[in-house]
Structure 1
Amino acid sequence: MFKSKKGRVGEKLDELMQQMNTGKQADVTAMHTLALRGLPILLSDDASNVYNTCKACDIDGWPQVPVGVMTVIDEEEPLMPNKLYLDPIIVEGGIVLDNMQNLPQAICTLFGLSYALNLNYPKGMINTFNFIQKVILGLGQNKLPPKISETTNLLLS
Structure 2
Amino acid sequence: MTAIDMYTPKLLKLYRARKGALGQDMEALLERLEERTTDIVNHRRTAALEGLPVFLRENPTELFKKCNETEDGTKGVSVGILYVMEDIIQTTSPMIQNIAVVLEEVVVLEDVPDPSTALAYLFGLLYALNFSYPKNLKYTFDAIQNLFMELGSGCTQRVLSLKNKLL
Shorter-chain-normalised TM-score: which range? 0.7 to 0.9
Whether 1:30 and 2:5 are equivalent positions in the alignment is: no
Letter in 1 for 2:40: D
Local SS of the residue matching 1:91: strand
Distance 1:49 1:23 in 2: 24
Q: Provide the identity percentage.
A: 28
* Separation in 1, partners of 2:36, 2:118: 25
| 1:122 to partner: Cα distance | 2.9
- Contact 2:133 / 2:141 at 8 angstroms: preserved in 1? yes
Alignment counterpart, residue 83 of structure 2, candidates 71, 75, 82: 71
Paired with 1:131 and 1:23, the residues of 2 have a C-alpha distance of: 26
Corresponding residue SS for 1:95: strand
The question of 1:107 aligning with 2:107 is answered no
Distance in 2 (CA, whole Å) between partners of 1:43 and 1:20 is 19
Could you state the TM-score of these two structures normalised by the residue count of structure 1? 0.84
| Aligned pair partner of 1:53 in 66, 70, 79 | 66
Secondary structure of the residue aligned to 1:18 is helix
Aligned to 1:5, the other structure's residue is in SS state helix
Measured on the aligned residues, the alpha-carbon RMSD in Å equals 2.2
**Higher RCO, 1 vs 2 (CA within 8 Å, ≥6 residues apart):** 1
Report the CA distance shift for 1:4/1:63 in structure 2 as closer, same or farther (over 3 A).
same
Structure number having the greater helix percentage: 2
Using the alignment, how far apart are the partners of 1:139 and 1:66 within structure 2?
A: 23
- Equivalent of 1:117, from 118, 129, 135? 129
- Please give the alpha-carbon distance, in whole angstroms, between the structure 1 residues aligned to 2:45 and 2:117: 10
Any gaps of 5 or more consecutive residues in structure 1? Answer: none
4+ long deviations beyond 6 Å: none
TM-score by length of 2: 0.80
